[in-house]
Each structure stands twice: as C-alpha cells, then as structure tokens.
A and B are shown apart, each in its own frame.
Chain A
Amino acid sequence: EAGVAQSPRYKIIEKRQSVAFWCNPISGHATLYWYQQILGQGPKLLIQFQNNGVVDDSQLPKDRFSAERLKGVDSTLKIQPAKLEDSAVYLCASSLDRAWRNTEAFFGQGTRLTVV
C-alpha cells in the first residue's frame, strides 16, 4: 500500500514570498490533515478535511495560509506571504474516516520549509 505522498521535500524562500505544498493521501482515505511541526515541538493541526469539506481550521492563520482539497483526494497548502516564523516541517496525514473510533492517521514525510 502506497503511503502519503508529499512534495516538495525541501523548500527555501525569502520572507514575503509565497509557497505551496502538495499532498496525495492514501487511496480511499476520506480524512486529510495538515500539521505544522516547528523544530523541537510536536505537530500542531492546521486544518482537517473530510472528503472535500473543511472539518476544523480553527488554528489556521487565515490571513496568510489557505488550503484546498477540491476533488476530495489530493490537497494543497499555500502560504502567502511567508514570514520567518513559518519555518517548519509541514506534515500531511490521512485516515480512513474521522467517525471511526479506531482509525489510524498515517503521516507523510513532510515538507521542510525554511524562510530566510
């Protein structure tokens, strides 16, 4: 079974530039998450999708971050404009269904963003 695919693996941009990350979840997984992991910290949820609808985006800085999952499969996360404090690893995860009590969330390898 193929895992969660993310690209690019690494990205370096200057502050105030824009950047986009892509995620392809495990086939058949209805729920998709984007997490931000700052160095030395645990992942923090940015947004959760159920199919192509947003379930939770309460911690997404909406003035600069946006995410979409138009066809309910792959997803993109965009930052515009980037700030220095956005330097982090952006992790995508997917699970079968949020309503199932015992579903496991599988993570991709992440995109490491450095803002200079």
Chain B
Amino acid sequence: QKEVEQDPGPLSVPEGAIVSLNCTYSNSAFQYFMWYRQYSRKGPELLMYTYSSGNKEDGRFTAQVDKSSKYISLFIRDSQPSDSATYLCAMRYNAGNMLTFGGGTRLMVKP
C-alpha cells in the first residue's frame, strides 16, 4: 500500500464547475499538507499549505484536511481552462522537509 493515494484521473469538467480533488494517506505522523499544481513539462508549484484539520481558503481554492480520517481535499471553484494541469498532494512529518507525494490527478477544464 502506498503511503499517499490519489486518484490519477483524468478528470474532465466544463468551465465554471466546482472541482474536488482528494488524497488519502496511511501514516498518521504526517502533519503538514500541501497541494502542488504541475503544468505539462514544468516543475510543481505550491498552491496551498495547511497544518491543522479544517479548511483554508485562498481565492478560488479551498484546502480541507481531516486528520481523523486521513483524508485531504482541494476544491476549485469557478474552474477555468487555465486550471488544466496535474494536481499533486504532498505531505511531510513534523521534522525535516522531505515531501511524500501522491501520484497526481490530471484535470482538464473544457471551455
């Protein structure tokens, strides 16, 4: 079993839709949770960073963490074609900075 599981997709939605991306993890030692966006042939870029359970909002993006269920989500409101990319969840333990990534979900937003 992988430490971090993520549905690979692809997920195809119409422009303006609400998108829900999810990851589950097995190790309760993970304390910091991140979402990265990766465009084709580019490196990942950080979108959201959360530490505690609950919601964190940044513009059209909301990150949700449920530590009791070992489940994290990223919601994208009013999705745009420019949101088409692969979304990677990542997490790390309290000490050090090593990131453990999920496999990524490919999102396609159609005009």
A102 and B49 within 8 A (CB): yes
Q: Choose one: A55, A103, A108; the contact of B43 (CB below 8 Å).
A: A108
Question: For residue B46, which residue of chain A has the nearest CB?
Answer: A104
Interface contact B98-A45, CB-CB below 8 Å? yes
Nearest residue (CB) in A for B31 is: A101
Majority secondary structure, B binding face = loop
A44-B43 contact given A56-B96, A102-B49, A104-B49, CB 8 Å threshold:
no
Q: Flag whether A4 is at the interface (Cβ < 8 A).
A: yes
Category for how many chain A residues contact B:
20 to 34
Residue interface mask A75-116, B partner, CB < 8 A = 1: 000000000000000010101001001111111111010000
- B99 touches which one: A41, A55, A105 (CB < 8 A)? A105
Chain A contacts for B44, CB-based, 8 A: 43, 91, 107
Interchain CB contact (< 8 A) of A40 among B8, B94, B101: B8
A91 to B103, CA, bound (A): 15
Within 8 A of A (CB), among B44-100: 44-46, 49, 51, 88, 90, 94, 96-100
